Chain A
Amino acid sequence: MSEIEARGYAHSDALVSTAWVAEHLQDPGVRIIESNEDPLLYPSGHIPGAVEVDWVRDLNDPLRRDYLQREGFEALMSRIGATPQTKLVLYGDKNNWWSCYALWVFQLFGHKNVMVMDGGRLKWEKEGRPMVREVPAYAATKYGAPERDDSRIRAFRDDVMKHLDAKKPMVDVRSPEEFNGTRLHMEAYPNEGALRGGHIPGAANVPWARAIVPDNGTFKSAEALRAIYEGEKGLKPSDDVIAYCRIGERSSHTWFVLTYLLGYSKVRNYDGSWTEWGNLVGVPIEK
């Protein structure tokens, strides 16, 4: 049993270790993908053979607040030389926050064979593993993707309204200061891009990074995660859960944790999140 399997996750195959990645650097069936918040990180050095997927340039619609459409996803997969059978391994900065975000977007197009490198860029670097600056070029592939399906794992504001009315569980993964609305009142500093501070009524506050072992960026064991989400907050694997943050990036990390590591069957990410809810006229807010 591998060290990751020993942690008791519902779907331990959603994670690979840094050692596994090191052994598959030359594997043509594997494409390693770095996705970061900091745009300078990948060009400053990355895992040999890794390609970059940038959440702004590659995953978002340049005009509307939305994600890329089928044609864009097919072009992206073609650019990185992936087919529907390619095993996509994501890693990045911020304890894999952005790689989970990319994974969530990939799932809107149903690419099943995708996983996260446990510990992300931080662990790879701490272990002194090789980093290079050369950007690899792969032969373009022909990738046929289905239309984007938002219904399973994405929530919109009307879904949140219904969820709220039905008193179903929601997880606000922002910091306690954002959750209680005090951050909007810090004078002279940027705010959340929202006119109102606070949270959606009834939401439980579990900052996303609580799922991480701070020293090495790996995910906590299933037992430790259950203690947080179930022991402290009362969630159950059968719950219909909506997670949100500011724009849906941090909450995609929590979506990954609940869906893959704890095996929750219905978790959706509300990517409109607080930048939408905190600006909506007339919606209920708690502080």
Chain B
Amino acid sequence: MTAIPPIPTKLSEFLADFEALADRSERIEALIGISKRYRPVPADIASPPYSEANKVPACESQAYVWSLPDGSGNLTFHFAVLNPQGISAMALAVILEENVSGSPASAIAQIPSDIVYGIFGQELSMGKSMGLMAMVSMVRSAGERFASAALQRK
């Protein structure tokens, strides 16, 4: 029986720290601070208009995700959020870029979509939670794809 690898360590630590923020306003302030570090995908990776293949389905903030393998089983992620009012999507892009990029594809493939609730709380609209969970799903799908391809090469 093969052991299921854990999610990326850095993300796991981030989630543990973040979920310890019991006060809603403290959590919101932290997320606003994180969102200010958002930078769109570098121009040498992609430039507008971005490909539909990179677009996050169900995300009304018009988020895009790029996944790049480094040749040793790790993936780097870049994001773009076109809606200037999509602050939550920007915050999640920063969290994923800072805590998932550079991790093994096999670990990325284990990230559950519901980390969104651990980060943003339960009080999200269905549309907002769908969009944010779709961002995580797209990252996880990239991990699954690359991890599966690596297994087939072995």
State the A residues within 8 Å of B (CB): 37-41, 43-44, 54-57, 93-94, 121-122, 125, 183, 186, 188-190, 193, 246-247, 249, 275
Contact = CB atoms under 8 A, between A and B. Distances in A.
A43 B33 CA distance: 11
Interface string B118-129: 001101111111
Contacts of A122: 85
Contact of A190 (B121, B124, B130): B130
A23 to B, nearest CB: 24
Nearest to A246: B126
A38 B141 contact: no
A246 B60 CA distance: 14
Interface stretch (B5-13, B86-94, B100-108): B86-94
B29 interface: yes
Interface in B61-93: 61, 84-88, 91
A40 B58 contact: no
A39 B116 CA distance: 13
Contacts of A56: 123-125
B32 interface: yes
A41 B85 CA distance: 7
Interface string B1-43: 0000000000000000000000001001101100100000000
B88 A39 contact: yes
Contacts of A189: 57-58, 134, 137
A249 B58 CA distance: 16
A38 B87 contact: yes
A190 B113 contact: yes
Given A39-B120, A188-B141, A93 B32 contact: no
Interface of B: 25, 28-29, 31-32, 35, 57-58, 60-61, 84-88, 91, 113, 120-121, 123-130, 133-134, 137, 141
A186 B60 contact: no
Nearest to A56: B123
A193 B125 CA distance: 12
Contact of A40 (B60, B87, B134): B87
B125 A37 contact: yes
A57 B129 CA distance: 15
Nearest to A209: B60
B100 to A, nearest CB: 18
A188 B137 CA distance: 7
A186 B124 contact: no
B86 A38 contact: yes
Contacts of A38: 61, 85-88, 128
A39 B137 contact: no
Contacts of B31: 40
A54 B123 contact: yes
Contacts of A39: 28, 88, 120-121, 123-124, 128
24 contacts: A37-B125, A38-B61, A39-B120, A40-B35, A40-B91, A41-B85, A43-B28, A43-B29, A55-B125, A57-B123, A93-B85, A183-B58, A188-B137, A189-B57, A189-B134, A189-B137, A190-B113, A190-B129, A190-B133, A246-B126, A247-B126, A249-B125, A249-B127, A275-B126
